[in-house]
Amino acid sequence: MARKKSIPSARPKPMLDAWFENAGITQEEEITDTLEKNYLPYAMSVIISRALPEIDGFKPSHRKLLYTMYKMGLLNGNRTKSANVVGQTMRLNPHGDQAIYETMVRLTRANECLLHPYVDSKGNFGKHYSRDMAFAASRYTEVRLAPICEALFNEIDKETVDFIPNYDNTMMEPSLLPATFPSILVNANMGIAVSMASNICPFNLAELCETCIELIKNPEHDILSTLKGPDFPSGGFLLYDEAELRKVYETGRGSLKLRSKWNYDKSAGCIEVTEIPYTTTLEAIKDKITELSKAGKLREVTYARDEIDVNGFRLAIDVKRNTDPEKLMQKLFRMTPLQDSFGCNFNILIGNTPKVMGIREILEEWTAFRHACVKRRVSFDLNKKKEKLHLLLGLKEILLDLDKAIAIIRETPKESQVIENLMKGFSLDEIQAEYVAEIKLRHLNREYILNKISDVDQLKNEIADMEDIIANPDRIKKIIIKELRDTAKKYGQPRKTMFYYATEADEAPAEDDTPDYPVNLFLTKEGYFKKITPLSLRMGGEQKIKEGDCIIRQIEASNKTELLFFTNKAQVYKIRASAFEDGKASLLGDYIPVKLGFEEDEKIIGLTATTDYSGKLLFIFENGKISKIPLSAYMTKTNRKKLTAAFSDKSPILTMLYLQEDTDILLRSNTNKAVLIHTELITEKSTRSSQGIQVMTIKARQQLTSAEIPSSERLPQLEKYRVQNIPAIGKAGKNLEDANQMSLI
């Protein structure tokens, strides 16, 4: 919208005519030229001077605020009103008092946003984990610098960093803070610039200092061995995914999965959440739970309420009676921010250039920065000691003849000539002569001067030592290491974020909306599997199988049936029938070793289908032992696809049988002996890898060759092989029919 301009009446008419003639005319300009002149300077300003942190761990707004508090004497003094700090900071940061105060809030201990807060606070500063818990106005709250800031400022007055003018050239401010620890990785830091962003996760101070020390000693040090993982101020649990952690450590990018800490109060019938992921808020969790409950997707939850008090965070989730809390929490982890991800993007300004770096490169850059700080600090102290030594050497010359010095001063007619006469009388330079001339009359005695110059030898030794430090990078490294150890010992604290492992706490599967209908399942000897509906089976023709293959297992089941494929590597693979496409008799079906990702030379020895994990499994070994394991031993609360140690691997397995209830089984050895027993004689074992008990006595070079559940029609003629006690040798069975081992699976 064009702006209207008033026209002064005193303006000459020719000028008015020209003004009206050119009014509203715009000059065409290439968009690239406009962006280059107007937008790029703004973008560079945001990137360099506002949004991205530098190697000392701070953005300009943080640095200006903390330096102002340091100059106000708030490192060791009493607290002052936040409004005072905000007002003083505006001398360095002219972006408005509210923006400065919000920056301060994030740095305070009360806000709980930082692992190691830089501001010791008193009053209401809100909470990082709450979106709606607002902080009080700056006139009500009080602040001072936290003790850890001593590690940021204790050498800033020794020219360790460069100082630059503030925005109006009225005072100087540091370009960086000479932190004695890698603060860039100690506290979380997020910034959104133009076309780029930064998101740095926090790490435990003690672990980080130890890692930095090891890297200084050995650049090839394995970082993951000392830096276990990020440590968030909100606590909770971090998924320990070594591959992802190494990716983050090496590239500076990656995603870390965080999970809430909780417990179940059975008496109150509620789940208590005491720690939540750093990336979410209490309100976001409550809103999501409410939304899901209204949609009927969380029928187990009756109410979620905020119970935050002086003791800290607490979210109570009331659940219905008979609800399985473990199962519900897996569902909540999957569907709500109770489990969330932290996206790492270690984008840091190095020499006014944004750069995404891994942990190793960041610590190398910080070490180089710290090396320069230590060298500048030692140079500053060296110059001070040289100046002091220079003065004492002049004083030492005076000691040779005090009377002469007094006479020169007394006999000099003009004050302005005293310095010049002392310089001539004792071969002093102007600085030394000025120092001697300023000595009080009461100090012109041998004792005072001797005491003063007694430090000359010590100063010479200290100067030589400092010059050696400056010339020797290894000595500077030792100083950095010592400072890191001192900082870790003084300010280190135990980890707040613990680890959980995917093998122990996998996410629950998505809500089961699988259609349920009857199916027929077929498994062949070579490992091909088919799922065919009854209608398709009736309409289909002969079953298609590979040449030399045969069907060894046929099951009538439902689409939701759980299938357990047992293999010769003592492993079981679990998968639902619904995971397979409905097939036809004219197709070969799915090849199970490929479908389930079998290991090399791994083959199927048995298949069991179940919906409720009832019944038992008999594992029959060639050495005559049988292990009876309840099928419920293979039930898991989490969605694990593969279980190891499914049965004992101490002896080669002959076959496995599924029993809904105890029954008779017939065993036969290669010596043509047979035993008929009732499975009640076999003790049930709770451990899956149990070796079982000896049922048939097997001597050297003997083994079981078959096991079957005989039909009721055959039982009468097999009674002569029945035994009441085990182990049994068995009786010779000349007329026994050959048993097809694979058909009994």
Q: How far is the C-alpha of 256 from the C-alpha of 242, rounded, in Å?
A: 11
Q: How far is the C-alpha of 229 from the C-alpha of 208, rounded, in Å?
A: 10
Q: Does the residue 5 lie in any domain?
A: no
Contacts of 288 (CB under 8 A, 6+ apart): 335, 336, 337
Contacts of 415 (CB under 8 A, 6+ apart): none
pLDDT at 607 over 70: yes
pLDDT in tens, 565-575: 999 899 999 98
pLDDT of residue 5: 41
pLDDT in tens, 669-709: 888 888 989 888 888 888 888 888 898 888 888 888 888 88
Q: How far is the C-alpha of 428 from the C-alpha of 399, rounded, in Å?
A: 13
Q: 108, 208, 120: which is closest to 495 by C-alpha? A: 208
Q: State the alpha helices, DSSP H only, in 400-471.
A: 402-411, 418-426, 430-437, 446-453, 456-471
Q: What is the CATH number of the domain that holds 529?
A: 2.120.10.90
pLDDT of residue 503: 53
Q: Does the residue 723 lie in any domain?
A: yes
Q: Are 530 and 638 contained in the same domain?
A: yes
Q: Are 670 and 549 contained in the same domain?
A: yes
Q: Are 523 and 668 contained in the same domain?
A: yes
Q: Does the residue 347 lie in any domain?
A: no
Question: Could you give phi then psi for residue 658, rounded to 5 degrees?
Answer: -100, 130
pLDDT of residue 17: 63
Percent of the chain whose pLDDT exceeds 90: 48
Could you write out the three-class secondary structure of 379-401? HHHHHHHHHHHHHHHHHHHHHCC
pLDDT in tens, 505-549: 454 445 554 568 899 999 998 999 999 998 888 887 788 888 888
Partnered with residue 607 across adjacent β-strands are: 565
pLDDT at 95 over 50: yes
Q: How far is the C-alpha of 205 from the C-alpha of 227, rounded, in Å?
A: 10
Q: Look at 74 and 597; give whichever has higher pLDDT.
A: 74
Q: Are 705 and 592 contained in the same domain?
A: yes
Does the annotation mark 501 as catalytic?
A: no
Q: 44, 40, 166, 116: which is closest to 487 by C-alpha? A: 116
The rounded Cα 446 to chain-centroid distance in angstroms is: 67
Q: Give the active site residue among 42, 67, 70, 140.
A: 140
The amino acid that residue 250 corresponds to is E
pLDDT in tens, 433-470: 888 888 877 777 777 777 778 888 889 999 999 999 99
Q: Are 550 and 666 contained in the same domain?
A: yes
pLDDT at 740 over 80: no
> Residues 344-365: what's their mean pLDDT?
95
The residue from 179, 203, 229 where one domain ends is 179
pLDDT of residue 342: 95
Q: How far is the C-alpha of 208 from the C-alpha of 205, rounded, in Å?
A: 5
The residue from 147, 179, 211 where one domain ends is 179
Instruction: Identify which of 95-109, 410-424, 664-678 has the greatest average pLDDT.
Output: 95-109
Q: Does the residue 131 lie in any domain?
A: yes
Domain that holds residue 159: 47-179
Q: Of all helices (H) and strands (E), which one includes residue 248?
A: helix 242-251
**pLDDT band with cut points at 50, 70 and 90 for residue 718:** confident
- The token duo for 743 is 């058909």
pLDDT of residue 268: 87
> Residues 249-256: what's their mean pLDDT?
95
Question: Could you give phi then psi for residue 318, rounded to 5 degrees?
Answer: -75, 135
pLDDT in tens, 100-114: 999 999 999 999 999
Q: Does the residue 326 lie in any domain?
A: yes
Q: Does the residue 480 lie in any domain?
A: no
**pLDDT band with cut points at 50, 70 and 90 for residue 3:** very low
Q: Please count the structural domains in the chain.
A: 3
Q: How far is the C-alpha of 617 from the C-alpha of 314, rounded, in Å?
A: 45
Q: How far is the C-alpha of 232 from the C-alpha of 114, rounded, in Å?
A: 8
Q: Does the residue 392 lie in any domain?
A: no
> With the C-alpha atoms ordered 671, 677, 679, 681, is the resulting torsion angle positive or negative?
negative
Q: How far is the C-alpha of 185 from the C-alpha of 362, rounded, in Å?
A: 9
Q: What is the CATH number of the domain that holds 284?
A: 3.30.1360.40
Q: Are 664 and 538 contained in the same domain?
A: yes
The residue from 304, 337, 370 where one domain ends is 337
Q: Are 267 and 148 contained in the same domain?
A: no
pLDDT in tens, 621-658: 988 899 999 998 898 876 678 888 889 888 888 888 88
Q: Does the residue 587 lie in any domain?
A: yes
pLDDT of residue 161: 96
Give the mean pLDDT of the chain.
Answer: 88
pLDDT at 24 over 80: no
| DSSP structure class, residue 684 | B
- The token duo for 694 is 């000896």
pLDDT at 27 over 80: no
**End-to-end CA distance of the chain, in Å?**
84
Contacts of 452 (CB under 8 A, 6+ apart): 392, 395
Q: How far is the C-alpha of 579 from the C-alpha of 596, rounded, in Å?
A: 11
Quickly list DSSP for 29-68. Answer: --HHHHIIIIIHHHHHHHIIIIIS-BTTS--HHHHHHHHH
Q: Are 153 and 177 in contact (CB under 8 A)?
A: yes
